[in-house]
A and B are shown apart, each in its own frame.
Chain A
Amino acid sequence: GAVVSQHPSRVICKSGTSVKIECRSLDFQATTMFWYRQFPKQSLMLMATSNEGSKATYEQGVEKDKFLINHASLTLSTLTVTSAHPEDSSFYICSARTGTGGLSSYNEQFFGPGTRLTVL
């Protein structure tokens, strides 16, 4: 299957700092990328959907000014957690999809290995 990488795999930072997480599709062009967050013993929760070259669509309850998403190319999306606080500590996972997921088709999402963020 297609490969998606994330960097860094783990980050520990002080409260108030900003953290950038990169998500790359290594062997395919990702029309759409998704950012998820998973707290311990909880399900993956979709934070936002981003299409290359356009603004991300955020899920209800996710602050767009706090979680900045940039999808500048078909192989790279970044998530920046601005002014991180301890409650932002979580497992952040991106996924990438080749198609647009229209009514007539489903395009598989390929997940990155995740980034574990710990804010002290």
Chain B
Amino acid sequence: RKEVEQDPGPFNVPEGATVAFNCTYSNSASQSFFWYRQDCRKEPKLLMSVYSSGNEDGRFTAQLNRASQYISLLIRDSKLSDSATYLCVVNGAGYSTLTFGKGTMLLVSP
């Protein structure tokens, strides 16, 4: 089983739509969880951390289910500028390194 698994997509949605991405991770000792955004041929940038209680940042909501080892990202009212690849990232026990999923591609169309 891969350490961090994501549906590669692409998810094609119209502007204004709500879209959700899921991610599963294999290491039950993982301590920290994040969503990064990566634009084509660019470096990844931190979108938001994911907390056990769930957290929201504007149009973005992240949730964590430790029992199921499952992380989600919900984007409401999609914008054209949201088009990117969304990377699920897990920080292992000891906080030393990050493990990246392959990413889910989102394409928002007018």
Q: Is the CB of B97 within 8 A of A49?
A: yes
- Tell which of A36-44, A71-79, A81-89 binds the partner: A36-44
**Chain A CB within 8 A of B80 CB:** no
Q: A91-B41, A106-B32, A114-B42 are in contact. Are A46 and B98 (CB under 8 A)?
A: yes
Q: B66-110: contact bitstring with A at CB < 8 Å (1 yes, 0 no)?
A: 000000000000000000000100010011111111110000000
Give the residues in chain A near B100, CB-CB below 8 Å: 43-45
From A101, A112, A116, contact of B95 by CB (8 A): A101
Give the residues in chain B near A93, CB-CB below 8 Å: 43-44
How far, in angstroms, from A105 to B101 measured CA to CA in the complex?
22
| Beta-carbon nearest neighbor of B103 in chain A | A43
Within 8 A of B (CB), among A97-120: 101-103, 105-109, 111-114, 116
**Chain A CB within 8 A of B46 CB:** yes
Q: Is the CB of A113 within 8 A of B102?
A: no
**Chain B CB within 8 A of A34 CB:** yes
Q: How large is the interface on B (under 10, 10 to 19, 20 to 34, 35 or more residues)?
A: 20 to 34
Chain B nearest CB, measured from A96 CB (Å): 12
Chain A nearest CB, measured from B33 CB (Å): 10
How far, in angstroms, from A102 to B44 measured CA to CA in the complex?
23
Chain A nearest CB, measured from B106 CB (Å): 15
Further pairs besides A106-B91, A109-B98: 17, Cβ < 8 Å: A34-B98, A42-B102, A43-B100, A43-B103, A46-B98, A49-B96, A49-B97, A93-B43, A105-B95, A106-B95, A107-B95, A108-B46, A111-B43, A111-B44, A113-B43, A114-B43, A116-B41
Instruction: Tell me the A residues contacting B by CB distance below 8 Å.
Output: 1, 34, 41-46, 49, 91, 93, 101-103, 105-109, 111-114, 116
| 3 residue pairs, one from A and one from B, having the closest CB atoms | A101-B95, A111-B43, A43-B102
